[in-house]
Chains A and B, each alone.
Chain A
Amino acid sequence: MPTISIFRKDFSQLVGQPASISDIEQWMPLVKGEVKDTSSDTGEVRVELQDTNRPDLWCVEGIARQIRSVLTGGLSPYSFFSSRGRAKRRIQVGQGMETVRPYVAACASLEYPMTQEGLEQCIQTQEKLADAFGRKRETVSIGLYRLSSIAFPVTYGLVKPDEVRFTPLGFEEKMTPHEVLTVHPKGLEYGGILSGCERLPLLWDSNGQVLSFPPIINSRELGEVQIGDTDLLVEVTGTDLAMVILALNIFASNLADRGAMIEPIDIMYPYETALGKTVKTPHDMGNAQRVSLHAIEQALGMSLGAEAIHTALASYGYQVKATRQSVSVKLPPFRNDLMHVMDVAEDVAITRGYDSFSPIMPQTFTVGALSEQEQISDRLRDLMVGFGFQEIFSNILASRQELVERMRLTDTHHESLVEVDNVMSQTYACLRPSILPCLLRVEALSPRVFYPHLLFEIGEVARVDLEAGVGSRTVLSLAAISAHPGANFSEMHSYLDLLMYYMVWPYDLEPVSHPSFLDGRVGHISCQGQMVGYIGEFHPEVLEAWQIDMPTSGFEFEITTPKT
């Protein structure tokens, strides 16, 4: 979810009417936006945009365009998408680009003298598109240049890493692409995209001047746009043709909204693309689609009729032709998010306003119920509370040290531990296989709290099980501890015995050996022949490891749904 800065004056100009903060807030539902912050000094408004499929809305021009469209009942199409014939300027794509970064799209933007605000917004849009939409420049990256210094045709081709030198933005001296990758901060940040490439992508003009080293950095000579520049070259490169063209379409529409005249550029490929060998960009890739009026009405739960749906879609920016049963819709060229008729239905609802749909209260009868596990767990909780135990509620992620080492367990027990691969903090590195460590953590942190400490928790634990569908099993478990000067096995045994009596779960205790407990004071709990848990007095080394100075005993068993 990108968050962007817009400025009220700039925004008002683009919408075509003065916009107060409350106007902006009121219009936000049209773009699935939310005002996060405003500053009355600078007129800055921070807006968060929710829709990850509408990159055209991640900029002030796009937000303003969508709102302007609804306010005025529709948009007039941008003429540069329908330009015919040969373009004035060409970019020639070199051999071998198809294996490195196959696609490029570009246009010229004329007669718009760049303002401070315009430039800031251009840079913000460039960053947001390349970062969130272009997956950190991997699939899409964007460059802006001073058009007047460039001699066409421009070549988008491959060079050897040390074949050419240019001055990258942010540096004084000339470097080869290879040096940029090893020295320049952007090279270090984005160089991974080109790892494994023997030759590197470069844009240069017919005088041999370097425009940029995409997707890493622009050259300083041609790629440092300044306030007052009237003519620009906008270029997008990437690995996905549709995304590259969509990004350019968005950028071209934005500049056009600011008053620029957009001139398309012909891209000449030496290989086939989905749009042929010569592609004029910006390019309208949209197709008119027939969608059923009935499907829209059914989804929205309202018979709106062809006319109302036509009006709504047209004012939202669609090109629409409606008949009695179906409607033919086409998205504007800066959008490419129509997958299903429901996407159209939602745009109808947004244009008309969600509040214009009256809610229908649920009327269908269904039977409510808790799962069997939850019912059993609630009965156990009631009993434990009645026995005088305080319920504890813990995080399920814990550290290996807490779950294994402090419990005096050894490597043979590690196999059952579900561990996180991309650990962020060792404190939260494993799913707990047992709840007792969580209760001992409470005891360890609470030595000054009024005694006795009778604690229990019922919750989920997970253990590796290679036979299970997801490689581990999530099990409901009940653990309880007692910590006070007289805590011992027989006290916990009494609680366990009473619990099993009331649950009508006949159980057996077998003496065993378990590293966490004192020998001779620990037992296996089994229920109907199935091993379900342990009860015992904690080994003094376990208590020492937790720095607990109080005798502590406890039990834990799995809650298996009883077999009848």
Chain B
Amino acid sequence: MNSPNQTDSLHPLEIQVLRTLGMATTEEFLRDPELVQSTGLAPSQVSMAVGWLLTKQLVNLVSETTTTYVALTEVGTKFQQAVSPPEWIIQTVQAGAQKGQSRTVKDLQAIGQFQPTELSRAIGLLKKEGVLSLGAGGSLENTGEKSTTVEALRSLLNQIHEGSRPLDSFSDNHQALLRQYAVKRGNTQEPFRIDDHTERAYSLTPEGRNLLPNLREDAAQEISQLTPELLKDGSWRKNSFRKYSIHLRPPRLAVGRRHAYREFLDTVKTKLTSMGFQEMRGELVETEFWDMDALFMPQFHPARAIHDVYFVKHPSHAKHIPEPFLSQVAEVHKNGGTTGSKGWQYSYDPERAKRLVLRSQGTAVSARTLATNPPIPSKFFSIARCFRYDQVDATHATDFFQVEGIVLGSDINFRTLLGLLKLFATEMAQAKDIRFFPAYFPFTEPSVELHVRHPKLGWMELGGAGLFRSEVTVPLGVTVPVIAWGLGLDRMAMVALGIQDIRDLFTSDLEAVRNMRRQM
């Protein structure tokens, strides 16, 4: 549409390009070098204006041809003006022979005119072509043969010196030679450079042509950017303001922003503190004692094997485990201690308890908190980085977050446990429909799995929980019942962030990090 509005918002550069294209009569299209020439603009200005006009569909791209050009590099210019390494070698050896002096490779290197690598390549070439031969004592001798390569290179240097030329204007042999002596990745000291150059031809679209009569003459006088000077001297009054095309995509910005996954976890911690939970923190490296023994996982438990937990190389063991916890936990493993349990009935190894591992479960943080004589009642949570010995793939990460915690109180029982999970379902997943399933964890009894109907995801497992076994709480000095809970939020996070691969939560691709956003 050639509304007056459209011509108003044309940039002066666009107007110039449109005019130039409008004047073109030769089959109605122009190539970019011609455009540059007729507009008198810089190539970058032309390409900017053409870009805008293409998006506005005022200009058509008629054709696009890519030509390979060959040009001289700085090195090539030097060779052309002075001498190339093989030429120099022939001359030097000849000059030496005339004076009755033989030259060795070392002698040539000592002169220092060319790099040793350049020399050895040239000598190799000349020997191969029979121009040079190696005499007694390593002296180089001229055989009198002519080097076809050297002659061809000289002719090419001279031809291309006059300006870059299309590669295909040379014979096949010469093309091969040019490629051989052209700059490559890893070798920039070559005489020739081969580049692809794309030439585009443009014409006006009918819409563009229709605009021509309406193009403003005074566009160049329009104010494009209001400046302090224009304001200070009031000269803005004398001119009109160019109108912008506000439909164009705005330029990109690089801005400061929180990481989207961390932002998700921020809302989790805000929810938990608002429900009265206090944050606990722990160490990335833990003893097996706090990571597993204190949680009543027997030392022979299959999940403690070398293929499930990362062990620390050095130091491999902690110096000691604090008492009375070590003895009390040891007793409870052996025979139940004072808990009324019969225990696991095996001989507990206090050395094994000191083995250092990368924390394999967030519950280790809870175990440590239980041993600090926490106030009753109280609620705790942690968002703890944990490590598992797993092959990393789309659903398994090597380190990941566990959101877990405990609730201590004399009123705690199975039904208050279910109540807490119901609260989590509404607060964390906005879910009204929930189901409880019997579950198994080594440290809780009874144990529950919480399934919720998420408004977007349908039925999903939201977490696991239970009442800590007395075998866990009593040895750590806690006598009231304790709820232990853990939430599996990564799946929710992945849907919220629109990603399918768990590795993308911690991606190192900045574009992906910048694009990641919460979609629900």
| Residues of A in contact with B (beta carbons under 8 Å apart) | 28-30, 32, 50-53, 132, 135, 242, 298-302, 338-343, 345-346, 349-350, 354-355, 357-371, 373-374, 378, 381, 384-397, 418-422, 424-425, 428, 431, 438, 441-443, 445-446, 448-455, 460, 462, 464, 466, 469-474
Of B356, B379, B436, which contacts A470 at CB under 8 A?
A: B356
Contacts of A395 in B (CB 8 A): 397-399, 506
Indicate if the CB atoms of A449 and B435 lie closer than 8 Å.
no
| B511 lies within 8 A of A460 (CB) | no
When the two chains form the complex, which single residue of A346, A364, A366, A472 contacts B446, counting CB atoms closer than 8 Å? Answer: A346
What residue in chain B is nearest A462 (Cβ atoms)?
A: B284
Q: Which one of A355, A373, A448 contacts B281 once the chains associate, using CB atoms below 8 Å?
A: A373
For residue A46, give the distance in angstroms from its CB to the closest CB of chain B.
Answer: 17
Report whether A474 and B285 are in contact in the complex, using a CB–CB cutoff of 8 Å.
Answer: yes
Can you report 6 residue pairs joining A to B where beta carbons are below 8 Å apart? A52-B440, A340-B339, A342-B445, A368-B277, A428-B392, A445-B509
Pick the 10 closest A-B CB pairs, nearest first: A301-B413, A301-B415, A368-B273, A446-B510, A346-B446, A359-B418, A359-B419, A471-B315, A354-B436, A340-B341
Which residues from chain B contact A53 at a C-beta distance below 8 Å? 440
- Tell me whether B254 and A342 are in contact (CB under 8 A): no
A327: min CB distance to chain B, Å: 15
Contact with A along B399-427 (1 / 0, CB 8 A): 10000000101010111101111110000
From known contacts A135-B302, A362-B416, A362-B423, infer whether A419 and B506 are also in contact, taking CB-CB under 8 Å: no
CB distance A397 to B398 under 8 Å?
yes
Interface code B277-298, partner A: CB below 8 Å = 1, 0 otherwise? Answer: 1111111111100000000000
Inter-chain CA distance A279–B283, complex, in Å, is 50
Please give me the residue from chain B that is nearest to A138 by CB atom. Answer: B300
Would B397 and A300 count as touching, CB distance under 8 A?
Answer: no
Query: B310 near A: Cβ within 8 Å?
Result: yes
Q: Is the CB of B387 within 8 A of A454?
A: no
Q: Are B275 and A354 in contact (CB under 8 A)?
A: no
Contacts of B438 in A (CB 8 A): 29-30, 32, 346, 349-350, 354
B277 neighbours in A (Cβ, 8 Å) = 366, 368
Binding site for A on B (CB under 8 A): 252, 254-259, 261-262, 266, 269, 272-287, 300-302, 306, 310-319, 336, 339-345, 356, 358, 377-379, 385, 387, 389-392, 397-399, 407, 409, 411, 413-416, 418-423, 435-440, 442, 445-448, 467, 469-471, 481, 505-506, 508-511, 513-514
| Residue in A354, A360, A366, A453 whose beta carbon sits within 8 Å of that of B278 in the complex | A366
With both beta carbons as reference points, the residue of chain A lying nearest to B461 in the complex is identified as: A34
Question: Looking across the interface, which residue of chain A has its beta carbon closest to that of B446?
Answer: A346
The distance from the CB of A131 to the nearest CB of chain B, in whole angstroms, is 9
Q: For the A-B complex with A299-B446, A368-B277 known, give 15 more contacts whose Cβ atoms are closer than 8 Å.
A: A299-B414, A339-B343, A342-B446, A346-B438, A354-B438, A358-B415, A358-B418, A365-B276, A366-B378, A371-B281, A385-B256, A390-B514, A449-B514, A470-B318, A474-B282
The verdict on A366 contacting B377 (CB below 8 Å), with A135-B300, A355-B436, A395-B506 known, is: yes
Looking at the complex, which one of A50, A339, A364 makes contact with B336 (CB distance below 8 Å)? A339
Distance of A429 Cα from B51 Cα, bound (Å): 49
Question: A393 and B315: CB pair below 8 A?
Answer: no
The contact of B509 among A350, A397, A446, A462, by CB within 8 Å, is A446
A362–B385 contact, CB under 8 A? no
Write out the residue numbers on chain A whose beta carbons fall within 8 Å of the beta carbon of B511. Answer: 446, 448-449
- In-complex Cβ contact of A340 among B252, B345, B471, B506 (8 A): B471
A391 touches B258 (CB 8 A): yes
What is the CA–CA distance of A366 and B344 in the complex, to the nearest angstrom?
Answer: 36
Alpha-carbon separation in the docked complex, A301 to B216 (Å): 85
CA distance A474 to B341 in the complex (A): 36
**Residues A362 and B387 in contact in the complex (CB < 8 Å), given A368-B274, A470-B283:** no
Most buried by A among B392, B409, B415: B415
- Inter-chain CA distance A338–B336, complex, in Å, is 12
* Inter-chain contact A424/B391, CB cutoff 8 Å: yes
A378 contacts across to B, CB distance below 8 A = 266
CA distance A5 to B276 in the complex (A): 45
Contact A452 B254 (CB under 8 A): yes
Query: What is the minimal beta-carbon distance from A3 to any residue of chain B, in angstroms?
Result: 14
Is B510's CB under 8 angstroms from A455's CB? yes
Q: Are B418 and A357 neighbours in the complex by a CB distance under 8 Å?
A: yes
Once bound together, how far apart are the Cα atoms of A428 and B391, in whole Å? 11
With A340-B336, A373-B281 in contact, is A354–B437 under 8 Å at CB?
Answer: yes
| Closest A residue, CB atoms, query B277 | A368
- What's the minimum C-beta distance from A524 to chain B, rounded to whole angstroms? 25
Among residues of B, the one whose C-beta sits closest to the C-beta of A297 is B413
User: What's the nearest-Cβ distance from chain A to residue B369, in Å?
Assistant: 12
When the two chains form their complex, are residues B256 and A386 in contact, meaning their CB atoms are under 8 A apart? yes
Report the minimum CB–CB distance from B386 to chain A (whole Å): 10
Give bound CA distance, A424 to B396, whole Å.
Answer: 13
Contacts of A342 in B (CB 8 A): 445-446, 467, 469-470
Interface residue from B340, B377, B506, B514 paired with A393 (Cβ < 8 Å): B506
B262 touches A391 (CB 8 A): yes
Shortest Cβ distance from residue B195 to the other chain A in the assembled complex, whole angstroms: 20
Interface centre among A354, A362, A464 (most CB of B within 10 A): A362
Residues in B whose Cβ lies below 8 Å from that of A349: 414, 438, 446
Q: Distance in Å from the Cβ of A357 to the closest Cβ of chain B?
A: 5
Q: Given A371-B281, A396-B385, are A390 and B509 neighbors across the interface (CB < 8 Å)?
A: no
B261 neighbours in A (Cβ, 8 Å): 393
C-alpha gap A367/B277 in the complex (Å): 7
**B255→A29 contact, CB < 8 A:** no
Given known A-B contacts A50-B439, A345-B446, A390-B257, A441 and B279 have beta carbons under 8 A apart: no
- Checking B256, B409, B447 against A388 with a beta-carbon cut-off of 8 angstroms, the contacting residue is B256
Taken together as a complex, chains A and B put the C-alpha atoms of A389 and B25 apart, in Å, by 53
Contact status B392-A52, CB under 8 Å = no
Instruction: Give Cα A445 to B506, complex, Å.
Output: 13
Contact B445 A450 (CB under 8 A): no
B158 to chain A, nearest CB (A): 36
Q: B279 near A369 (CB under 8 angstroms)? A: yes
Are A422 and B413 in contact, CB atoms less than 8 angstroms apart?
no
Q: Which residue of B lies closest to A369 (CB)?
A: B278
Q: Give the chain B neighbours of A470 by CB distance below 8 A.
A: 283, 285-287, 318, 356
CB < 8 Å: which of B278, B279, B340, B399 contacts A397?
A: B399
Residues of A within 8 A of B257 (CB): 385, 390-391
Q: Are A29 and B398 in contact (CB under 8 A)?
A: no
The answer for the CA separation of A342 and B279 in the assembled complex, in Å, is: 29
Please pick, from A50, A299, A339, A396, the residue contacting B399 in the complex, using a CB distance under 8 A: A396
Find the residue from B259, B272, B306, B471 having the highest chain A CB count within 10 A. B259
B513 to chain A minimum Cβ distance, whole angstroms, is 6
Inter-chain CA distance A445–B514, complex, in Å, is 14
Are B505 and A393 within 8 A (Cβ)? Answer: yes
Give the nearest-CB partner of A240 in chain B. Answer: B346
Q: Contact between A360 and B442 (Cβ–Cβ < 8 Å)?
A: no
Q: How far is the CA of A389 from the CA of B256 in the complex (A)?
A: 4
B399–chain A nearest beta-carbon distance, Å: 5
CB closest chain-A residue, reference B420? A362
Cβ of B515 to closest chain A Cβ, rounded Å = 10
Is B423 touching A453 in the complex (CB atoms < 8 A)?
Answer: no
| Complex CA distance for A498 and B377, rounded to whole angstroms | 42
Q: How far is A442 from B507 in the complex, measured between Cα atoms in Å?
A: 8
User: Would B279 and A370 count as touching, CB distance under 8 A?
Assistant: yes
Please measure, in the bound complex, the distance between the C-alpha atom of A472 and the C-alpha atom of B409, giving whole angstroms: 34
The answer on a CB contact under 8 Å between B510 and A442 is yes
B513, A442: Cβ atoms closer than 8 Å: yes
Bound state CA distance, A186 and B59, in angstroms? 76
* Distance, CA A470 to CA B322, complexed state (A): 11
Looking at the complex, which one of B254, B274, B312, B445 makes contact with A453 (CB distance below 8 Å)?
B254
